[in-house]
Amino acid sequence: MTTPTGFQVIPVTGIGEVRPGDDIAALLSGAGLRDGDIVVITSKIVSKAEGRVRHAPDRMRAIEEETERVVARRGDTVISQTRHGFVMAAAGVDASNTEPGTVLLLPEDPDASARLIRAKLRENAGARAGANTGKSTGKSTAQNSGESTAQNSGVNVGVNVGVIVSDTFGRPWRNGLTDVAIGAAGVRPLDDFRGTADSYGNQLSATVTALADEIAAAAELVKGKLDGVPVAIVRGLAHLVTEDDGPGVAPLIRPADEDLFRYGSRDVVFARRTIREFSGKPVDPEAVRRAVAAGIAAPAPHHTTPWRFVLLESPEVRTKLLDAMREAWIEDLRGDGFTEESIAKRVRRGDVLRNAPYLVVPCLVMEGSHTYRDERRNAAEREMFTVATGAGVENLLIQLAVEGLGSAWVSSTMFCRPVVREVLDLPDSWDPMGCVAVGHAAAPPRERAPRDPGDFIVTR
């Protein structure tokens, strides 16, 4: 890799207001591009040229439509994931530098936008070179060809430039905004130093430099927010410009399941979803133990700890338990008069547990409970402990979601507690309160039907 001795950032002025249908590459025809330049273009003008302008007095509606997943919300501030995979404020919907009553949406496919602009820049370069070469000057074609590059004040012959589409992002734990790349073509997006050693011989295990983002941020220094300069040329980094279009910004996007902070505190409860189909990816036992730690943080009566969590990490134990539960279930159903066909159909519903790579059996214990003379109060005492156990299980389920794990709470074990206690060798005082299937979701969960909290509130 060639190490540059320095680089320049040059503002491109005089572009003016961009309208739907405008050709960005044509607007750069007089920019004086050179081979190896990187053109950084503010996404706003790309959006305008592509007609991504919406008449939307209600900006929140536009944000909702552009949002794939809400990450965090505080008042009117929404951090969301777009369908591109970007996690950013307001799903990239912008009401600045656009006519009143309108908002700008991000380009539909910023990488495709960058590729198209790059291709047109090359096409324009070829056309201009041909025009210059064909001028009638009384000189030979060879002479004209040799001088065309020197005479061309616009794009040079054979120009190979990189293109970055940039947008402004906030950053966790840091004040202020900076520009990053949301689309790229012909630019190496990352430098991966993992596996190499520093000058002291230390092995690097996590150093990956976001080159495209650094270039976008550098370009913003000359573009500014209020100066009407939407494009900058970064010159001197030709070693980062590639012949092909490259992977775009995809390598810069961290997958959601690798994001340690994928949920904001206000939205984490809604991240819990019932998952019934799991992939073959193994479950990290330590992640489950962290979820148990959240479970036992739930409130409980009399300062007690009414929860016990049995972790079924052995495939043999899981199969033995589920086989025994199935037999007990079939026996109960036959005793209730169900047909064999109906029994088979009901038993198949238990496949969510059988297909899960990990099971947790939450149990209720009444240690520390009070005993009263009247049964009414004793029944209420058990209800208090049951509610506390449910709170513990809900904490467990939410933390599993935070850990990137899917889960389903199935009540089957409550119908055959003696069988579960026998197979798992549990004390008689432990009451299984269902079984939690745990694993990595095989597919994204279906959208939850909207619920209006007002339908569940009674005010007195």
Q: What is the pLDDT of residues 3-41, one digit of tens each?
A: 556 899 999 999 989 999 999 999 998 898 999 999 999
Predicted pLDDT of residue 152: 38
* C-alpha pair distances (Å), 446 with each of 221, 273, 442: 43, 9, 12
pLDDT band at 125 (very low <50, low <70, confident <90, very high): confident
Q: How far apart are CA 61 and CA 451, in angstroms?
A: 18
**Pairing mode, if any, of strands 38-42 and 162-171?**
parallel
Is the Cβ–Cβ distance between 150 and 131 less than 8 Å? Answer: no
Q: How far apart are CA 144 and CA 254, in angstroms?
A: 51
Considering only 27-36, 120-129, 163-172, 248-257, which range has the smallest mean pLDDT? 120-129
Residue 317, SS3?
A: helix
pLDDT value, residue 163: 98
Which residue intervals of the chain bear CATH 3.30.1330.100? 8-55+94-258
Helix axes 375-402, 285-295, angle to 10 degrees: 140
Q: Specify the range with the lowest mean pLDDT, choosing from 4-18, 75-89, 192-206, 415-429.
A: 192-206
At position 103, the amino acid (one-letter code) is: V
The answer, yes or no, to whether residue 151 has pLDDT greater than 60, is no
Residue 407, H or E segment: strand 406-410
- Supply the pTM of this predicted model: 0.68
Q: When comparing pLDDT for 392 and 127, which is higher?
A: 392
Task: Answer whether residue 153 shows pLDDT above 70.
Answer: no
Helices (H) then strands (E): counts for the chain: 13, 17
**Are the C-beta atoms of 32 and 153 separated by less than 8 Å?**
yes
Q: What is the pLDDT of residue 93?
A: 93
**178 within 8 A of 168, measured Cβ to Cβ:** yes
Tokens describing residue 103: 């908002």
Confidence grade of residue 139 (pLDDT, cut at 50, 70, 90): very low
User: pLDDT value at position 146?
Assistant: 38
H-type alpha helices, 282-374:
285-295, 315-335, 340-348, 351-354
Q: How far apart are CA 24 and CA 147, in angstroms?
A: 28
Q: What are phi and psi of 451, to 5 degrees?
A: -130, 135
Q: Is the pLDDT of residue 121 over 50?
A: yes
- As a dihedral over the C-alpha atoms of residue 350, residue 354, residue 358, residue 364, rounded to 10 degrees, the angle is 40
* Residues paired with 364 in a beta bridge: 307, 431
Helical H runs in 135-199? 141-151
How wide is the angle at C-alpha 83 spanned by C-alphas 175 and 93, nearest 5°? 50
Tell me if 95 sits within 8 A of 87, measured CB to CB.
no
What percent of the chain is predicted at pLDDT more than 70? 90
Task: Say whether pLDDT at 154 is over 70.
Answer: no
Query: What is the location of CATH 3.40.109.10 in the chain?
Result: 272-454
- Listed ranges 316-320, 337-341, 343-347; the one with the highest mean pLDDT: 316-320
Q: Which residue has the tokens 């430099």?
A: 209
For residue 165, list its beta bridge partners.
41, 183
Choose the most confident range, by mean pLDDT, from 139-143, 207-211, 350-354. 207-211
CA-CA distance, 288 to 406, in Å (whole number)? 11
Least confident segment among 136-150, 225-239, 393-407: 136-150
Q: Can you give the pLDDT at residue 157?
A: 52
CA distance 94 to 90: 8
Q: Which residue has the higher pLDDT, 408 or 203?
A: 408
CA pair distance 450, 78, nearest whole angstrom = 19
55: CB partners within 8 A, 6+ apart? 101, 102
Tens-place pLDDT, residues 266-288: 678 888 889 999 999 999 999 99
Q: What share of the chain is helix, strand, coil (3-state, %, to 5)?
A: 40, 20, 40
Enclosing H/E stretch for 89: strand 87-89
Answer yes or no: is pLDDT of 119 > 90.
Answer: yes
CA atoms within 13 A on the CB side of 283: 30
Q: Is 435 exposed, middle or buried (0-12, 13-18, 19+ CB in 10 A)?
A: buried
Q: How far apart are CA 82 and CA 64, in angstroms?
A: 10
Q: How far apart are CA 95 and CA 34, in angstroms?
A: 34
Q: Which residues pair with 114 in a beta bridge?
A: none
**pLDDT value at position 158?**
62
Average of per-residue pLDDT across 330-341: 90
Indicate the CATH number for domain 8-55+94-258: 3.30.1330.100
d(CA 175, CA 173): 7
Architecture of domain 272-454: 3-Layer(aba) Sandwich (3.40)
* Ranges 11-25, 56-70, 432-446: which has the least confidence: 56-70
